[in-house]
């Protein structure tokens, strides 16, 4: 076999990288690549990208000293206002897709939530509301109050599957919806969100993520967030070549979708904001759902970039003490998030419900490469919005598990 053939085969082989990062492999890959090309740290940043991002969105976990810096505890009067708003909406006899600031009035709380939404886009990028008395409401009432409160933060709800669901349940479903390995339909669990496994640092699509804790785990499950701009600044200073790699197109596995993969960058500049948008499993697969071997593999530089982003996010992350009844809001354009592995028992079974939101008045400019995704995400009308009250596996329009 010729040297050219060996090089060509290596170029078309998926690197030795898994969903869960391996720090030893990351360090070895970095050493190898720098040995092969010592000039990598001297690579110029791509044209138009800043050498450093400034502003309150740039932070590290050590900057935050106590919860009261990001947690707002709802008063009895505010909880009464929320309860009254539930009754008001129920009296309208409208479907849940019509929940809005107008149909879920919060005269006292709304200005405060608007200020918090500005904090998401122009400030640190996260806050927590504490604490909704979730045990006092049935599932439909919880959906109403959750979407109602969230409508005063984000004016648009994004659909999270191909069926128009704007509400998603984040819970271990491996045994209730399968046999511990695959779902009842025989399709693999290809998403750590539906297991007790750790989720590595990633972003969701859309502008904002809201998570309401119906119950916490017996042990573990800490929610972790990190500033994408902080990650960017360190890479721009120490490894600008990886910034270049992140800003170039990558092959994202669509896991049974049509087309089988798409191409786009993972890093964007929407002045003055850096945006990182990716989920690691689209490049590594997850569990029994392997990356499609017929689509283009990532390369060694991309593998190093994935690990670099994860470990820098971990280095600068903040762990949130997520309590039952809390609603956590984060900017998914500016922050990365992760979750520790956890253990459930019959009394403490971790169960979150998620909304994807956007505040059209405050939103950052959507990068053109993401515009088709965002348009599809926020195109679901009030009559087409589904609010599943019980956990289910998200599916694409064709019925493929996501």
HEC letters along the chain: CCHHHHHHHHHCCCCCCCCCCCHHHHHHHHHHHHHHCCCHHHCCCCCCCCCCCCCCCCCCHHHCCCHHHCEEECCHHHHHHHHHHHHHHHHHCCCHHHCCCCCCCCCCCHHHHHHHHHHHHHCCCEEEEECCCHHHCCHHHHHHHHHHHHHCCCCEEECCCCCCECCEEEECCCCCCECCCEECCCCECCCHHHCCCCEEEECCCCCEEEEEEEECCCEECCEEEEEHHHHHHHHHHHCHHHHHHHCCCEEEECCCCCCCEEEECCEEEECCEEEECCCCHHHHCECCECCCCCCCCCCHHHHHHHHHHHHHHHHCCEEECCCCCCEEEEECCCEEEEECCEECCCCCCCEEEEEEEECCCCCCCCCHHHHHHHHHHCCCCHHHCECCCCCCCCECCCCCEC
165 in any annotated domain: yes
364 in any annotated domain: yes
pLDDT of residue 173: 85
pLDDT digits (tens, 9 = 90+) for 168-185: 999 988 766 654 444 444
pLDDT digits (tens, 9 = 90+) for 10-64: 446 899 999 999 999 999 999 999 999 999 999 999 999 999 999 999 999 999 9
pLDDT of residue 190: 55
134 in any annotated domain: yes
224 in any annotated domain: yes
39 in any annotated domain: no
pLDDT digits (tens, 9 = 90+) for 340-358: 999 999 999 999 999 999 9
209 in any annotated domain: yes
pLDDT of residue 188: 43
12 in any annotated domain: no
pLDDT of residue 372: 95
**Structural domain that includes position 282:** 60-390
25 in any annotated domain: no
When pLDDT is averaged across residues 109-132 and rounded to a whole number, the result is 97
The domain that contains 75 carries what CATH number? Answer: 3.60.130.10
Count structural domains, the chain.
1
Whether 8 has a pLDDT exceeding 70, the answer reads no
Q: How confident is the model at residue 266 (pLDDT cuts 50, 70, 90)?
A: very high
């Amino acid at each position: 076999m010729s040297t050219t053939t060996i090089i060509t085969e290596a170029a078309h082989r998926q690197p030795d990288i898994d969903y869960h990062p391996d720090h030893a492999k990351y360090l070895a890959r970095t050493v190898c690549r720098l040995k092969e090309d010592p000039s990598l740290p001297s690579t110029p940043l791509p044209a138009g990208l800043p050498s450093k991002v400034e502003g309150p969105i740039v932070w590290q976990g050590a900057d935050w000293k106590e919860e009261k810096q990001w947690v707002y505890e709802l008063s009895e009067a505010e909880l009464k206002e929320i309860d009254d708003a539930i009754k008001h909406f129920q009296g309208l006899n409208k479907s849940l897709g019509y929940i809005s600031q107008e149909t879920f009035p919060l005269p006292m709380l709304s200005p405060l939530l608007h200020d918090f939404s500005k904090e998401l886009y122009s400030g640190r990028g996260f806050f927590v509301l504490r604490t909704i008395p979730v045990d006092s409401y049935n599932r439909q009432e919880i959906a109403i109050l959750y979407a109602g409160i969230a409508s005063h933060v984000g004016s648009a709800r994004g659909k999270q599957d191909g069926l128009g669901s704007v509400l998603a349940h984040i819970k271990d479903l491996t045994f209730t919806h399968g046999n511990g390995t695959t779902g009842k339909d025989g399709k693999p669990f290809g998403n750590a969100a539906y297991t007790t496994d750790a989720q590595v640092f990633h972003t969701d699509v859309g502008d904002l993520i809201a998570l309401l804790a119906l119950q916490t785990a017996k042990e573990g499950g800490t929610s972790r967030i990190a500033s994408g701009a902080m990650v960017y600044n360190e890479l721009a200073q120490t490894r600008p070549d990886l910034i270049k790699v992140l800003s170039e197109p990558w092959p994202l596995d669509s896991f049974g979708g049509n087309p089988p993969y798409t191409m786009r960058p993972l890093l964007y500049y929407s002045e003055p904001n850096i945006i990182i948008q990716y989920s690691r499993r689209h490049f590594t697969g997850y569990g029994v759902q392997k990356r499609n071997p017929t689509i283009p593999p990532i390369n060694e530089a991309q593998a190093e970039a994935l690990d670099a982003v994860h470990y820098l996010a971990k280095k600068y992350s903040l762990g949130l003490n997520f309590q039952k009844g809390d609603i956590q809001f984060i900017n998914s354009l500016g922050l990365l998030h992760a979750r520790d592995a956890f253990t459930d028992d019959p009394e403490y079974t971790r169960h979150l419900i998620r909304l994807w939101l956007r505040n059209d008045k405050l939103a950052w400019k959507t990068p053109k490469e993401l515009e088709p995704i965002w348009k599809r995400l926020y195109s679901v009308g009030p009559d087409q919005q589904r609010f599943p009250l019980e956990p289910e596996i998200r599916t694409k329009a064709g019925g493929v598990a996501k």
